[in-house]
A = this chain, B = another copy of it.
Amino acid sequence: MKYLEAIRLALSELLASDQRVFIYGQDIAGPFGGAFKATKGLSERFPGRVLNSPISEDAMTGIAIGAAMDGMRPIVEYQFADFASVAFNQLVNHAGTLYYRTGRPCPIVARLPVGGTPGGGPFHCQMPETWLSNHPGLVVVAPATVADAYFMLKDAVACRDPVCFLEHKYLYYHLEAEFDPQSAEHPGLGRAVVRRPGDDLTIVAYSGMVHHAIAAAAQLESEHGLSAEVVDLRCVRPLDEETILASLSRTGRIIIASEGWPFGGPTAEVAALVAEKGFQFLDAPPVRLAARDTPIPFHPELFMAHHPDDHAIVQAALDLARY
């Protein structure tokens, strides 16, 4: 099953099993079924519960908030995470503040297609986790596997708090794997997981970057005899500090890699975390790998050079091992 199909399966099962669930977003109704086809066929199977919205991200979000406060479990699809920038206020200042202010949680799920694809350019490739994570109240998750795309979307709808669900556009069609949707065994929404155990260093990543980390770890093993442990954050807000620190305590060295921009955000937060709470474990400085500090370039070659990949991680790991 493909990453995108896992999301569609989860959506259809959610619509089938929970009358409170409906989906609202641009171009999601049939026959079209969404810019990425995540909702293909769903409006036909669930009449009146998969609704096209106007191009009004602020209102789309506010509408979900109102519906959630009235007992529904709305799922909003933004066509690209980049365009949620105009929904920023409703997300952080409304959805994110309701529980603390009123005691009533606001269970919306914001589905955000994130991440880069060659030729996508500055406004169709962004990673939004940093600007969604500073204000209190939002949960921000970024599934990197097909199974997580499925289970975490269901968990996101089960969560009482507003969840920003980051779906990586490159993984939509390029990531395929088998998994058992029936299996009761999957980690909780806020749990980071070790994708690959290792002893020499820890590579922390999330979303699409997890696959670069795994590829890098394989190469480090086969070509350099280095054993790298890969930690997939899965949930970037809040962080599973326990799992990160446990890995660091074993390896003593850590690289944090992200497709996002360098200033602030999860990479800074994890680096700060290990410096504050894992100081005694650190045999070397934590290393951050992030995108270049510019808008995301359109041209594929510039694009590929804009964010770290497995080669960059391998290089950083070799330097770190030598420290």
Partner of A88, one of B85, B272, B286: B85
Alpha-carbon distance between A86 and B94 when the two chains are bound, in angstroms: 12
Q: Are A284 and B293 in contact (CB under 8 A)?
A: no
Alpha-carbon distance between A157 and B268 when the two chains are bound, in angstroms: 30
Q: Are B85 and A89 in contact (CB under 8 A)?
A: yes
Q: Are B267 and A272 in contact (CB under 8 A)?
A: yes
Q: Are A295 and B137 in contact (CB under 8 A)?
A: yes
Task: Kindly list chain B residues whose C-beta atoms are within 8 Å of the C-beta of A34.
Answer: none
Q: Are A133 and B263 in contact (CB under 8 A)?
A: yes
Q: Are B264 and A295 in contact (CB under 8 A)?
A: no
Alpha-carbon distance between A268 and B273 when the two chains are bound, in angstroms: 8
A134-B284 CB under 8 A given contacts A268-B272, A272-B272? no
Say if the beta carbon of A135 comes within 8 Å of chain B: yes
Alpha-carbon distance between A294 and B161 when the two chains are bound, in angstroms: 14
Q: Are A134 and B264 in contact (CB under 8 A)?
A: yes
Partner of A276, one of B58, B101, B287: B287
Say if the beta carbon of A55 comes within 8 Å of chain B: no
In the complex formed, the residue of B with least CB distance to A261 is B134
Say if the beta carbon of A36 comes within 8 Å of chain B: no
Say if the beta carbon of A265 comes within 8 Å of chain B: yes
Q: Are B295 and A101 in contact (CB under 8 A)?
A: yes
Q: Are B134 and A122 in contact (CB under 8 A)?
A: no
Residues A278-317 near B (CB distance < 8 A): 279, 282, 284-288, 292-295
Q: For residue A154, give the distance in angstroms from its CB to the closest CB of chain B.
A: 25
Instruction: List 18 interface pairs A-B (beta carbons < 8 Å), by A numbering.
Output: A85-B88, A85-B92, A92-B131, A97-B295, A131-B131, A134-B261, A134-B263, A134-B264, A136-B293, A238-B263, A264-B268, A264-B269, A268-B269, A268-B272, A272-B272, A272-B288, A276-B287, A279-B282
